[in-house]
Amino acid sequence: MAEVHVIGQILGASGFPESSLFCKWKVQIGSAWRVLQGDHEGQTQVDEPSDKPMANWCHPIDLHFATRGLQGWPKFHLQVWHQDLYGRNELYSYGFCHIPISPGSHEIDCVTWRPKGSLLEELKTQFIGGSSQLKNPDLVSSSAELYKLRTVSMGKIHLRLHVIVRNFDKYGVEF
């Protein structure tokens, strides 16, 4: 069985309209993959930066996978949420990011988007808060179904990941 280690951090986010953000993350894997060690989902701290408009999460990622095939290579599903001063959480955006395939260190910017509602829903979001959410958040990485959506761009999530692979050369995979 080939093994993949992913070690790194979800560094933070930038380019969002407000600060006081946190991120919910989850790793999606194919059927040939198994998580051996590490948490496959989590939620970062809520950061409100004092100077630059950039949330710093510094959330450690340490995952150990075993796999029988290349299909279904793990990917992150990321959701950025905003916590306002009353403590209410609202979804800001969705994003997904493949874990890089080549071993080595990678700095990744994950662009994100949010679903766009009708005019009435957008007005509600503007004045009352809250946002439209997807009924099935796994839609963010499904290529076949996204054509149904209308979305608005949001900011970027920054990750720094180091990938270590093992035993892939026994299967003839070249990195």
Looking at residues 22 to 61 of the shown chain, list those that interact with another protein (rule: CB under 8 A): 22, 36-39, 42-52, 54-56, 58-61
How many CB atoms neighbour CB 4 within 10 A? Answer: 23
Q: Answer positive or negative: Cα dihedral of 40, 162, 144, 157.
A: positive
Closest CB to another protein among residues 12, 74: 12
| Nearer to another protein (CB atom), residue 32 or residue 125 | 125
Cβ atoms within 10 Å, residue 144:
7
Residues between 97 and 116 that touch another protein (CB under 8 A): 97-98, 100-113
Query: Should residue 71 be labelled a site residue for another protein when binding is judged by CB under 8 A?
Result: no
C-alpha gyration radius of the chain: 17
Question: Using the rule CB under 8 A, is 119 a contact of another protein?
Answer: no
Task: For CA atoms 9, 14, 19, 21, give the dihedral sign.
Answer: negative
Measured from the CB atom, the residue of 102 and 136 that comes closer to another protein is 102
